[in-house]
Amino acid sequence: MTRRTSDLSLLREAIRDTGVSRWAITRAILAGTMALGSAVGLAAVAAWLIAKAAQMPSPADVALAATIVRFFGISRGLFRYLERLASHDAALRGVVTLRERAYDRLARSGARTVLGLRRGDIVARMGADLDAIGDAVVRAIVPLGVAATVSAISVAIVAILLPTAGLALAVCLVLAGVVPAVLTARSARIAAVAGARAHAEVSAAALSAMDGATEHRVWGTLDDAAGALRDADRDAEHAHELAARPAAWAAGFQALFSGVALVALVALGVLAVRSGDLDGPSAAVVALLPLAAFEAVGAVPAAIMQYFRSAAAARRLAELVDEPGEDPATAPREAPAASSLALDALSVAWPGMTPTPPVSARVAPGQVLAVVGRSGVGKTTLLTTIAGALAPASGDVTLDGRPSSPADTGTVVAMTAEDAHVFGTTVLENLRVARGDVTEAEAWDALALVGLDAWVRGLPDGLHTELGAGGRSVSGGERRRLLLARAGLAPAPVALVDEPAEHLDDAGADALRAFVSRMRAEGRTVVLVTHDLSLLDLADSVVSLDD
């Protein structure tokens, strides 16, 4: 299967996932056809009326024609409004449905793909790329459908009056629609792919610059971050230029074929009048109708461009939210009551990185393993591999004697990253990220365990107080303890906690010890990554990733 065929298949599948019915699309096409059809009718009747006026027609004929002109003039705006309502209603509802399904698939799929992406790229895929699927309905499918129907109506009107002129108009309309699309298809595809990639780079660079603004100031790398954002923006501008070139070629060819059609139909109309096959008013209709007919075909190049943008977006979404197959190794599992962990000469690394030194350990339920090592050596990568989201570089990691897999992530194994997100919602809902059915009593118990109950009671609305996105409204220690409370509520029997002692004072350290004691009492397996060697007394065993 070629890439283009594959993209078309992915786009069709994505549109099906929107739940937009064929009738909804047909309704939008019909309304659009009536809108542009009114323009064609307006041009035809106006041409007839102008030519007929020179023949001193009866007042009744003039009045009837003027009424029809007014009808078409009003109906064009009315049907244009109805077309916008129908197409945007279908597209927006479809995008909401697609977003729900995408998040559902993302939640049920393995985390390996997501963990390999930057936050900005994920934001771009779950934002702009989802919207691009809806745009395929509004800016590609409906305009192409309207162009086909209005062109057919225009050709039919002219063919009834003068068959040879109808044939000439049909040929010119087909050429005006097909030739620009064929000539610009490759460039449009390249521009669409480059544009999607460039916008993702802009999003990633912008988020990196904003999220790490404080660190950039401290380390003097603010100019580097701003430079990366400028480079990404320059690439996005280049992608826009790539898209503008095929659009310019398309506009030029359409103007050419429109002019050819006008000259041809005027010539055929004049010849028909001289031979007595047409009267003057009918010849005027034949001559002027192409001016309105080509308005529909004028939307074809933009629709083709949108098709490629939407197809590229569909591919990027499919890469992000691929659903797990029927393989039992990847099917979601129910969390057991307890689970043992074994590392056998395990070495880990992201693609292109140097693998860590191999480590081995055995951790029974109710025991704690501490992982130490210098910054950047790969401790977080080790946790990601234990969670099943990243394949080992060498060696094995097993849970209850079987290899860890993506199906274990979030079910058997729960990982709390050092930069785990605090959402811009209430304290209670932030805790429910770990388990959706957490009650208020359970939430208070988890907060009391980490020493945050008094702090939460002092908030304006207690558990229902909204926190700033990213945890910016709480201190570093409070954020860390909130994440510990969330980890304690997760139902997974294996808990991986990255740098839990960061930003913790003495009271926070006591809370961490209480957290570990509770996990032990519940028979859960705990792996702690830490720089704080004073916490090693919490562990039953320790592994170091330093050479």
| Per-residue pLDDT reduced to its tens digit, 104-117 | 777 666 555 666 56
CA–CA dist 301, 28 (Å, integer): 19
In DSSP notation, 184-244 reads HHHHHHHHHHHHHHHHHHHHHHHHHHHHTHHHHHHHT-HHHHHHHHHHHHHHHHHHHHHHH
Using an 8 Å Cβ cutoff, are 332 and 405 in contact?
no
Please give the mean pLDDT across all residues of the chain: 81
CA–CA dist 392, 347 (Å, integer): 6
Q: What is the CATH number of domain 341-544?
A: 3.40.50.300
For 282-324, the pLDDT digits (tens) are 888 888 888 888 888 888 888 887 888 888 788 878 777 654 4
pTM score: 0.64
**Rounded average pLDDT over 173-184:** 81
The whole-number pLDDT of residue 4 equals 45
Q: To the nearest whole percent, how much of the chain has pLDDT over 70?
A: 83
CA–CA dist 46, 281 (Å, integer): 10
Q: Is the pLDDT of residue 186 over 50?
A: yes
Q: Which amino acid is at 257?
A: F
Helix (H) or strand (E) holding 4: helix 3-17
Instruction: Give the least confident one: 469-478, 511-520, 536-545.
Output: 469-478
The whole-number pLDDT of residue 408 equals 78
Question: Which residue's entry shows tokens 């030519």?
Answer: 51
CA–CA dist 399, 494 (Å, integer): 9
**Rounded average pLDDT over 445-451:** 91
1 or 139, greater pLDDT:
139
**Rounded average pLDDT over 133-159:** 89
The whole-number pLDDT of residue 187 equals 65
Kindly provide the b/e burial profile for residues 311-350, where b requires at least 16 CB atoms within 10 angstroms of the residue's own CB.
Answer: bbbbbbbbebbeebeeeeebebeebeeebbbbbeebbbbe
**Rounded average pLDDT over 71-79:** 89
**CATH value of 3-320 in 3.40.640.10, 3.30.450.20, 2.60.40.10, 1.20.1560.10:** 1.20.1560.10
| Cβ neighbours of 387 (radius 10 Å) | 26
For 202-212, the pLDDT digits (tens) are 766 776 666 66
Q: Measuring CA to CA, how many Å separate 322 from each of 110, 201, 315, 328, 433?
A: 8, 22, 10, 16, 22
Helix (H) or strand (E) holding 39: helix 22-53
Per-domain boundaries in the chain: 3-320, 341-544
The whole-number pLDDT of residue 5 equals 45
Secondary structure of 423-476 in HEC code, one letter for each residue: CCCEHHHHHCCCCCCCCHHHHHHHHHHCCCHHHHHCCCCHHHCECCHHHCCCCH
